[in-house]
Each structure stands twice: as structure tokens, then as C-alpha cells.
Structure 1
Amino acid sequence: MTSVDSAAPPRGLRRLDVLAMLLCAIVGLDTLGSVAANGPEGLTWMAVLGLLFFVPYGLLIAELGSAFPAEGGPYVWTKLAFGRFAAGINQVFYWINNPIWLGGSLCVVAITTFETFFHPLPGAWKYLAGAVFIGAAGLAVHSPVAIGRWVPIAGALARVALLGLFVVSLVVYAVRNGLQPLSAGDYAPTYLGLVALTPVIVFNYMGFEIPSAAAGGMADPKRDVPAALLRGGVGSAVLYGVPILGTLLVLPRDQLGSLTGFIDACRAVFTVYGGHVAEDGTVVLTGAGALFAKLAAAGLIVGLLTSGTAWAMGLSRAQAVACADGAGPRWLGVTDRHGTPARINLVSTLVAALVMVLALSLSAGDVQAYFTAGISLAISATAISYLLTFSSFIALRRRYPDVERPYRVPFGNAGAWTATVLTVGTMAFTVLALIWPGLGVGWFGTAGDPADYLPSGFEGRRAAYTASQLVPVALILVLGCVFYALGTRRRRELPAPSLTMPVPSDRGVTADVPS
């Protein structure tokens, strides 16, 4: 990479940092309960989608990230493939999912965890707790690279420690109390399970491109991105599969909830250190059991916080690049003296706070509905953006065949088309399944009722759920158009899309050229 401006972002992220960022971005602890709530079949679909989506997704991003390692990642790829307007709209969908997710499911799971293990938060205290959570994430993202790099490292360590403690405790619990009986038939995949599980499993697998979005802060993105993707992919699969299986082995199916499933499983296994599970399933923790539970709860909250932070580190930089490139207001494409996109970070924090306040107010205390609407919207916004991002892969293969590709998707054009079809197809199915839960159920004379697949908190309220998804999507589309209109003056100063990409700086933009 060469730069024509000394204010280019400082490169302080190395392989360990990229790996930690990947683990924080991919291993989202807020969705473990959602998969477990669907029973052992969830593990089967995790394996299937791991093969049909996670693997081709990782291969695709490894090639894009090493061939086009420019600051902004997905925005750069879609711009080079489809032009500024398409890339600008796409980037707004990609960026906005983070504050929605942070102010939505991450915040509510963190609050629920605190209330479960520490102390109830009545009335205004819940809003205050949400503000502290979101504010902490905003400060972490705003930190210079030299300091901010430790946030995903802390998050990765918290995940390993939390899930390691859970697994050890699970083994002791199994020896003392036995496990829930599971038969081979419980793992059998069904179409109904596919419709219900695809969105949340796919969301669990998202995040491979986050280090590429912050490529301007890497020491050697061409080498570091592919290596970190391989390690991060394997680590993520283990960190997801083990706790979900453990949850299924500890709790009866009727006690599993999408919001609190993993939290409840932690409480149950920690009784081995002090406490007991009553006949009605109520968990009572005492002594060391209560202490370990509090430590695990703190680790879970740190894990949730760093999930949002890791995504924000990449997404804010990508949005700042888009704004500096004329796809948004130019003033949002300016960074501070540390190379941090401070202005877009502030906007993201404010949006997250607004989402938190609105959701808590509109849900009228129905935390499950708040969680469901927030996580569904975050998934759908991300999936919509991925439709174009994944499509850019095959387009760039055709438009820039001579660009050096340190890593290539194997099996030539057949492998490239297979990876594209699988990833784009999965995203299209995810969006449809989110907008219309129960997609295909009961159609053409088959058994089942689509109404039975409405998310928790929206039973019997399909119109309300659909509105909670389509209205925000329409508003995001309008926001993308407004951003693009506000970048008109900047676009007049820039050349047509090429391999020369502007990146944000404290003096405007710099030219960043992949070599």
C-alpha cells in the first residue's frame, strides 16, 4: 500500500489482533441460546451451514481481503464491482446493523445477565445500565489503535475463559447428576428447522470481513487476513458448538429460551460448586457456586461488549471511507490525529442509544420482544448488504483478472462461482425467512402452520413483526439515498471508480492504492 498523505491510519494490528477481532466478531454470545432453544437439530444445521456457507464465505473473503486490502473492505469491493451509488447504499445497510445490534440484542442480553446474576434493574435503572453499556462500547471504538487493539484481545480471552469454565463445570455436573437423554433422531434435519434456524446460525457465522474493513490499521493485510481467517474459523466453530451442546445436555427442552438459554445453563452447571436445582427447575446458587456464577456473568458481559466493539471497529472505518469517497457526508469521513473515525463513531453510539431507548419504551417491558425485533433487524440489514458484497467477488474476478491474489479460492472459475452461489443464495434465503417466518411451511398442501414460526414475543402478531422489519429496512434505504445525495459535492472532485481509493484522514482524504 502506498499513501500520498502522512495522515494515513497507523498500522498497529497484527495477526494476533486480527484473530482476536475475528473471534469477537463471529462468536456472538447473545445468540447461543437461540440455537440451543431449537434442540439438537440446531447442531446439525450448524454443521450443514458451516459446510455450505461458512467455508465458502471464508474462502471468498480470504481472496478479496488479500487481493484488495484497502481501508474500507466491503465498501471498496462493491464500489470497484458495481460503482459508488450501489456501494454507498450497501455500506449504509452494513454499517447501521452494528448500532441496531448493540442497542438491541447485545444490550438486552447484557442487562438480563446483570439482573440474573447480580441485581434487578427496575424502571430508569435499566435505561442507565443500557447507557453505560453503549457508552463503554463507544469509548472503546474511539480509542487509538495502540489502545483499542486490546479490546478484542480482552474479548477473545473472556470467551475462552468463560466457555472453558462452562465446559469444565459441565463435565463435573455430568458426573454428579447425569445428563439429559438425547437420541439420534433428535439431530435429524428438517425443513422446518432450516427455516427457523438459518437466520440465527448464519448471523453466528458472520464477521469474516471485519478485519478487512479495518485493513488500514493492519501491518500486513495480504498475509494476515488469510491466516487469521483459517484460525478464526476453526476457533469459532469450537467456541459455538461446545457450549450449545452443553446447554442441550444440561437443560430439558422445555426450559430452553432464545434469550436466556445459555445463561440458564451456566446457572445449572455452577451448582456443582455450591447450590442445587429444585424439582421445578429453579436454580439456587450458594457459596463458591454463586461466586463462579458472578465471574462467568462478568465474562459474558465483557464478551457481549467486545462483540459490538469488534464489529464497530471495522464498520465505522468502512463507513468513514464511504463518506470520504463521496457516498456520504464528507464531514463523517474525517478521522482524528490517531486515525480513528471519531465522527462516525459518535453517530453510531447515538444511534445505538436511540435504538435502546425506543425499544425499551415501545416494548412496554416485554424484553423478549425487544430482543427478537432487535436481533432480527440486525441480521436482515447485514444479510441485505452481503448480497451485493458477495456478488462483488465474481465481478472483481472478471474486471480485475491481473490483480495479484496472494490467496485464491480453489478450483478455478468453478470454485469461484460455487462460492458465490452458495453465499448469495444463503443470504437471499435468510432475508426471506426473516421477513416471513415460516417461509414455505404449510404451502402446496404440506403440513404445518407458518404462524407457529413467528419469533418469541410476537406470537399471533405477524403484521406487527413484519412491520418491525420492513419499516426500518425502508428507512435505512432512504438514509442511504440521503447520505449519497449529501456526498454530491465530494463526488465531483473525485475520479471514476478505480483501484485508487480515498481513505479518511484528519485533513480530508488520502489515496490508498493496492499494489
Structure 2
Amino acid sequence: MSAPDQSDRRAAAAAPGQRRTDTRFGLPAATALVVGSIIGTGVFALPSALAPYGPIALVAFVAVTVGALALAVVFGRLSERVPGSGGPYVYAREAFGEFAGFLTAWSYWITAWAGNAAIAVAWVGYVEVFVNKGHHTWASITIALAGLWLPAAVNLTGVRNIGAFQVVTTVLKFLPLGFMATAGLLFVKSGNFGAFNASGGSALGAVSAAGAIALFSYIGLETASVAAGRVRDPKRNVRRATVYGTLACAAIYLLGTLAVFGTVPHAQLTGSTAPFTDAFNTIAGGTWAGNLVAAAAIVSGLGALNGWTLICAEMPLAAARDGLFPSAFAKVRGQGQVPVFGIVSATLLASLLTVVSYTQFTKVFTEIVLLSVLTAVIPYLVSAAAQLLWLVQHGRAELDRRRLARDVTVTVLALAFSYWSIQGSGYQTVYYGLFTVLLGIPVYIWLKRERSGNATAPAAPSGTGTAAPAPVAHPVRTARPVGLPTIILRALRPRHQH
């Protein structure tokens, strides 16, 4: 069982008669957090990335949606047991120890800034509806870098400006997507879809490859669990917000992508950098409607980058306070407690990846998407494994048979979906992604060495005026390293001997 929520403790200790304003998220706000994190500019570029596979990509999208919903349920169940902030990081640490927690946080951090690079690349496609229509490489790079650093500047000004910026951009992003997912379906023509499997390979291979790309659309479904400590009644609302938010995005994604596939000829769609703009131009005639969509996509992209830049800093901030990330990430500045190092370092890395991608990759958006999907799937996989471990060890004692069977089925589906997503990423992506994740091992060794060196320092007695470490909303555990064979044996060992 986890420690009580620190915010609830402080609320209970408030002076009698003092009016307390509860600033935590309710269910609507928590659901909006999920939806706002999932929907960025990726959806605006996704139809072009899926077009080379043909309409079979829609089958992959449905399969990914089922897997994403299974993951949403798993995160909801995990948040019921561990309601504090941290999401995949704290679940991994709670189940498998510090090293698993570190690798999960490291992988998730890579997902955040690599995903920002992908969002920036998709954002460039819509900016170039108005400028750089010749798509000159270095002009595109300059635009992408501007898109990365403008939200970083907003983040550096504090939480108040971040929130205001996010509200406006979230509202605007729904306008073109909602229209395309509803009225756009009336303009679909079967002749625009092209060959069902345009990849030229096997159907299973096409579904797997398209599914790995489509999964990028759902990255962010876990954000309510990451911020669970800020959600009112997290044991109830995190699960509902995660599932409701994922369902809402699924409806927009599936119907919107179907409409774009059916309104833009397949040959044109495969080479498009702004597929929703092309779809609106086809529907309305001329370019005015497409320009409105492009403007909305630009605003949406800036909003997504604004939110994910915050996540880039918040995840390592939580891990650094536990001693599982470099201490520089734990430093904050000003009254707004701005994690400057986390914001600037993540934006620099995203900028570097963007430049490398434009100069080295032929399919810039697709290549970065696959990398960020792979590093996202690792925390998803570990979280599903943590839930399965708990079900095997404690499920029979704490759940009825029907609930246990349902939870095991959903968790196994989420686990299998995670493995399938890795397989669909391709050999090159797995190579680069695994190499990037394993780069974290020397960092972990360095952190352990520093902590071992500080372990002999005398602890400051209470009441001396020494500043205490910032409290965290999840349990801090000291766990011995556990090998994978031991984990498996423990999971399979019967709870009761007969």
C-alpha cells in the first residue's frame, strides 16, 4: 500500500475554520489533461505517414486503439493502488526496484523530448503552407527550431502562463479535427483510397508497421497518472479520466483519418506535408479553408509543444528528488519554481535531433515518430508488467474471480500490445532506440556512486533549521536489485501452500 497523499495530509492539518481552496483537478480537468496531451500536431501529419500502407492502415489504427484502451485501463488500475504522482516511473520502482524505476524515467524522458522533435517537424509542414513553400531544408530547420524554443520561453516564465497558453490552444485544435471527423465524412469518395494494401508486402507486416506509427497518436494517455497527486480523488478519477480521454481521442482520430483518406487522392496524400489542409481545400475548393486549418494546426502544435516541454522537465524533476536523476534537474528558480535546466536541456536535445533528422533521414517525421514510440513503449510495457506482477501475487486474495479474470485479460492484452509495437518499429529503430535507452546505464552507475559517497554524511537532526528534501507524493522504497529470473519465480510462486 502507498503512503497517504501529502496534499491530503497538509489539508487535514489546516487550522480549524480556515477556508481551503482545493486547486486539484476534478474529473473534467483531468480528462482535458489527457486529451490535451494526446492531441498535438502528430494527428495533422499522421494521414500522410500512414498513406504509403493504404487503407489497411485504418485496420492498424483500430488495433492500436484497442491496445491503447487496454493500456488506459491498466494505468487506471495502477493509479488505484499507487495514487501519488509519478506514473510509469513510480509503478516501475514500486514493483521492480530503483534500477527499473530509473530506466523507466530515463526512457520516458527520451520519449518526451524526441516526441517534441516529431511535433516540431509536423508543425513545420503547416507553417510552410504560408512560407518556404519550396521546402528548403535549412529554412525548414530554422522554422522547426523556432517552434521548439517559443514554447520553451513560455515555460520559463512560469506555470500561470503555461496554463493560459494551453487552454487557448487546446480549444482551437478541436475545430478542424471535429469538423473533419463529422462533416468531412460526407465528402468521402471510394476512388481516393487506392489499393487496400499499398505497401506491396504482407498484410500482417503492413498492419504492424502502420500500427507502430499510429501508436504515436496515443502517447500521452498516461498523463493523468503522472499527475495523479494533483487529481482530486485519484483512485476514482484518474482511471475514468484516462479511459474517457483515450476514447474521445480515438473517435476523433479514426473518423478524421478516414475522412482525409477518402477526400484526398492516395497519390497526392503520400507526398503531402499538410494532409488536413489538402482535405479541406478539396472539400471547399480554393485555398482559404485549408489556410484556416493550417493556422489552427500551427496554434495546436505550439500548444502541444508547450505542454510536453513541461513534461520534459517534470518527469526528471521527480526522479532527481529521489536521487535517480542528475541533481541539476531538481533545481528550480523563482517564485514559479521553474525547472530551468530541465526545460533548456530537453529543448536543446530536441533541437539537435531535429537538425540531424532533416540532414540524415529521408522520412523525417516517420523516423522520429518511430524512435519516440519505442522509448514510450518501454514505460508502457514495464507498467503493464508491474500490474501483472501484482495480480499474480495479490489478486487472488484481494479481488473476486470475475474482476481478477478481467484485469488479467486486459493486462496481458496491454503487455502483448506493447511487444507488438516494438516489433512493428523495425530493426533500425529498435537498434537506435535500445542504444539510446542503454546509454542511461552509465548515468545510473554515476548516480549510485554519488549516493554511496553521500551515505556516510551525518543526517541533520530535526528542528535544526536545515531545509528538508521536497516531499514526493509516492512511497520511497529502498529495494535490493532483483534479477529477472527472481522476479519471474516470485510471480509464479503460489501464495498459499496446500
TM range (shorter): 0.7 to 0.9
Aligned to 2:31: 19
Aligned to 2:494: none
Contact 1:141 1:313 in 2 (8 A): yes
Please list, as runs of the form range in 1=range in 2, the aligned pairs for 1:188-267 lying within 5 A after superposition. 190-257=203-270, 260=272, 263-267=274-278
Deviation at 1:222, TM superposition (A): 3.0
Structure 1, 41-50 or 295-304: larger mean CA deviation:
41-50
CA distance in 2, matches of 1:123, 1:42: 29
Matched, 1:300 2:275: no
Deviation string 1:461-487 (CA, Å, 9 cap, x unpaired) is xxxxx2x65245313312343145225
1:510 partner amino acid: P
Please list, as runs of the form range in 1=range in 2, the aligned pairs for 1:401-480 lying within 5 A after superposition. 411-436=402-427, 466=428, 469-480=430-441
Deviation at 1:372, TM superposition (A): 2.6
Structure 1, 83-92 or 326-335: larger mean CA deviation:
326-335
2:244 partner amino acid: R
Deviation string 1:41-70 (CA, Å, 9 cap, x unpaired) is 22223223433x122211111111233122
Please list, as runs of the form range in 1=range in 2, the aligned pairs for 1:334-413 lying within 5 A after superposition. 334-336=331-333, 337-363=335-361, 366=362, 368=363, 370-397=364-391, 411-413=402-404
Aligned to 2:482: none
CA distance in 2, matches of 1:213, 1:300: 26
Deviation at 1:88, TM superposition (A): 0.2
CA distance in 1, matches of 2:65, 2:212: 13
Evaluate the alpha carbon distance shift between residue 114 and residue 226 of structure 1 in structure 2; reply closer, same or farther with a 3 A threshold. same
CA distance in 1, matches of 2:250, 2:38: 9
SS in 1 for 2:215: helix
CA distance in 1, matches of 2:409, 2:453: 38
Structure 2: runs of 5+ lacking an equivalent? 12-21, 456-466, 476-498
Deviation string 1:395-441 (CA, Å, 9 cap, x unpaired) is 3446677999xxx99933322322222112221222122133xxxxx
Deviation at 1:197, TM superposition (A): 1.8
CA distance in 1, matches of 2:99, 2:156: 28
CA distance in 2, matches of 1:184, 1:253: 9
SS in 1 for 2:470: strand
Among candidates 319, 325, 331, match of residue 322 of structure 1: 319
CA distance in 2, matches of 1:412, 1:507: 42
Deviation string 1:50-98 (CA, Å, 9 cap, x unpaired) is 33x1222111111112331222221111001000011101210111112
CA distance in 2, matches of 1:192, 1:79: 35
Aligned to 2:447: 486
Contact 1:210 1:315 in 2 (8 A): no
Evaluate the alpha carbon distance shift between residue 99 and residue 184 of structure 1 in structure 2; reply closer, same or farther with a 3 A threshold. closer
Structure 1, 139-148 or 193-202: larger mean CA deviation:
139-148
Aligned residues: percent identity?
20
CA distance in 1, matches of 2:297, 2:368: 19
Q: What's the TM-score once normalised by structure 1's chain length?
A: 0.75
1:132 partner amino acid: A
Matched, 1:139 2:153: yes
SS in 2 for 1:86: helix
Deviation at 1:297, TM superposition (A): 0.6
SS in 2 for 1:248: helix
Evaluate the alpha carbon distance shift between residue 190 and residue 308 of structure 1 in structure 2; reply closer, same or farther with a 3 A threshold. same
1:359 partner amino acid: S
Deviation at 1:184, TM superposition (A): 12
Evaluate the alpha carbon distance shift between residue 482 and residue 426 of structure 1 in structure 2; reply closer, same or farther with a 3 A threshold. same
Deviation at 1:202, TM superposition (A): 2.6
CA distance in 1, matches of 2:403, 2:164: 39
Please list, as runs of the form range in 1=range in 2, the aligned pairs for 1:15-54 lying within 5 A after superposition. 15-27=27-39, 28-29=42-43, 30-51=45-66, 53-54=67-68
CA distance in 2, matches of 1:409, 1:356: 50
1:316 partner amino acid: A
CA distance in 2, matches of 1:397, 1:39: 40
Evaluate the alpha carbon distance shift between residue 149 and residue 223 of structure 1 in structure 2; reply closer, same or farther with a 3 A threshold. farther
Deviation string 1:236-283 (CA, Å, 9 cap, x unpaired) is 1111011111112112233332x737x2353243255442xxxxxxxx
SS in 1 for 2:258: helix
Deviation string 1:15-63 (CA, Å, 9 cap, x unpaired) is 3332222123323424243234433222223223433x12221111111
Structure 1: runs of 5+ lacking an equivalent? 276-284, 437-465, 495-505
CA distance in 2, matches of 1:181, 1:373: 26
Evaluate the alpha carbon distance shift between residue 512 and residue 102 of structure 1 in structure 2; reply closer, same or farther with a 3 A threshold. closer
Evaluate the alpha carbon distance shift between residue 93 and residue 413 of structure 1 in structure 2; reply closer, same or farther with a 3 A threshold. same
Contact 2:377 2:418 in 1 (8 A): yes
CA distance in 2, matches of 1:509, 1:83: 21
Q: What's the TM-score once normalised by structure 2's chain length?
A: 0.77
CA distance in 1, matches of 2:354, 2:97: 34
2:222 partner amino acid: E
CA distance in 2, matches of 1:233, 1:403: 31
Contact 2:27 2:237 in 1 (8 A): yes
Contact 2:114 2:353 in 1 (8 A): yes
Aligned to 1:459: none
Deviation string 1:292-314 (CA, Å, 9 cap, x unpaired) is 32221121122233334434444
Length, aligned pairs only: 442
Deviation at 1:5, TM superposition (A): 9.0
